[in-house]
């Protein structure tokens, strides 16, 4: 294909020499039901596409970046039919993730109507870095029930070396504003990075909170270094307690935040199957899971007591004292 328009990079052609490297849109490197998204879209069946328009130093799913033509490919109708299969745990939403789904738009345009046919009661979620060609914003707004935008940087000087594009902040802001103006239900996530509280997180939160319409702002303070970030001078550590407190204070009064109460979901069957989850073990022995499935939930809830409310999904009392010993 000549003159790819899926993202603002506008490569001369799709394929191994393009920035995202995707020759065949629609390859998937992981899919399954995860439990730690925002309550409004959780549990969600997540479909992780390969290929991305950025090169974030802190990416937790590098397979999406460096092996874009490796992974499962199914015709959109077959994938949607499989998502609806009763062997999967119950879910409220289907999220297209990545990498970034927007570099797979030819496939996504066929997948969305197939999902509407096979899982008609599930919300459809586009989870994107917002590095989006604005010509696609009207269709994306109409096609999805939710747009979840991960806004990584505000300053071009930060985005260039750490995400691979000095143009990213302006493009992300323009996309967020276009989606908000079009009436999309938006969740804007701001992952607070160490050393980037004042230059990136603070102005991003202020901008997101001032957008009109149905916009929720999620300030995320759980950053943990993964992959190439571990050796980076700034990104090779987690946030300090002082940084976390300062980040949580960024939200202005009246800003809309994600719902605190979980959505109801039908009971999980004993025969439900969770896929294997890749993980990374750091030199300090910490284990990083990019996804949390039902099988992993009891372990995670034991390590993070604040997440025990999610245990009701398994039919487990939320106040049950768990142990991983």
CA distances from 103 to 1, 26, 51, 60, 140 (A): 13, 9, 7, 18, 13
CA distance 27 to 51: 9
Residue 2 lies in a domain: no
Q: Are residues 277 and 311 in the same domain?
A: no
Q: pLDDT tier at 173 (50, 70, 90 boundaries)?
A: very high
Enclosing domain of residue 246: 28-257+273-285
Q: Are residues 322 and 225 in the same domain?
A: no
Q: Are residues 243 and 325 in the same domain?
A: no
- Nearest Cα to Cα of residue 146 among 117, 100, 186: 186
Average pLDDT of 62-68?
Answer: 78
Q: Are residues 109 and 90 in the same domain?
A: yes
DSSP letter (8 states) at residue 214? S
For the chain, percent of residues with pLDDT exceeding 90: 72
Q: Are residues 306 and 277 in the same domain?
A: no
Q: Are residues 172 and 305 in the same domain?
A: no
Taking all residues of the chain, what is their mean pLDDT, rounded to a whole number?
91
Q: Are residues 280 and 299 in the same domain?
A: no
pLDDT tens sequence across 13-60: 988 899 999 999 999 999 999 998 999 999 999 999 999 999 999 998
Residue 105 lies in a domain: yes
Q: Are residues 253 and 309 in the same domain?
A: no
pLDDT tens sequence across 284-293: 777 788 889 9
- Helix intervals (H) in 182-240: 202-209
Q: Does 99 sit behind a cis peptide bond, omega within 30 degrees of 0 on the bond before it?
A: yes
**Structure confidence at residue 58 (pLDDT):** 93
Q: What is the DSSP string of 56-68?
A: -TT-S-THHHH-T
CA distance 325 to 321: 12
The answer on pLDDT for 325 being more than 60 is: no
């Amino acid at each position: 294909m000549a003159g790819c328009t899926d993202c603002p990079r506008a490569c001369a052609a799709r394929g191994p020499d393009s920035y995202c490297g995707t020759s065949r849109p629609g390859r998937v490197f992981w899919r399954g039901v995860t439990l730690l998204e925002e309550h409004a879209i959780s549990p969600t069946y997540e479909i992780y596409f390969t290929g991305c328009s950025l090169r974030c130093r802190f990416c937790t799913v590098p397979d999406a970046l460096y092996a874009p033509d490796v992974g499962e490919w199914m015709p959109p109708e077959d994938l949607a039919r499989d998502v609806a299969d009763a062997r999967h745990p119950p879910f409220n939403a289907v999220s297209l993730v990545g990498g970034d789904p927007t570099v797979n738009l030819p496939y996504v345009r066929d997948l969305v109507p197939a999902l509407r046919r096979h899982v008609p009661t599930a919300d459809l979620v586009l989870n994107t870095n917002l590095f989006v060609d604005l010509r696609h914003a009207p269709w994306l707004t109409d096609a999805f029930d939710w747009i979840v935008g991960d806004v990584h940087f505000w300053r071009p000087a930060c985005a260039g070396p750490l995400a691979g594009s000095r143009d990213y902040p302006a493009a992300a802001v323009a996309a967020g504003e276009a989606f908000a103006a079009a009436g999309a239900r938006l969740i804007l996530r701001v992952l607070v990075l160490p050393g980037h509280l004042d230059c990136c997180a603070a102005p991003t939160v202020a901008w997101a909170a001032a957008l009109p319409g149905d916009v929720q702002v999620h300030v995320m303070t759980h950053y943990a270094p993964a992959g190439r970030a571990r050796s980076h001078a700034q990104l090779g550590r987690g946030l300090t307690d002082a940084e976390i407190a300062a980040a949580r204070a960024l939200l202005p009064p009246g800003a809309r935040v994600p719902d605190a109460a979980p959505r109801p979901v039908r009971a999980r069957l004993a025969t439900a199957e969770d896929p294997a989850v890749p993980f990374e073990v750091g030199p300090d022995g910490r284990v990083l899971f990019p996804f949390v499935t039902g099988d992993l939930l009891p372990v995670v809830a034991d390590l993070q007591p604040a997440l025990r409310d999610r245990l009701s999904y398994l039919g487990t009392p939320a106040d049950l004292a768990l142990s991983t010993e």
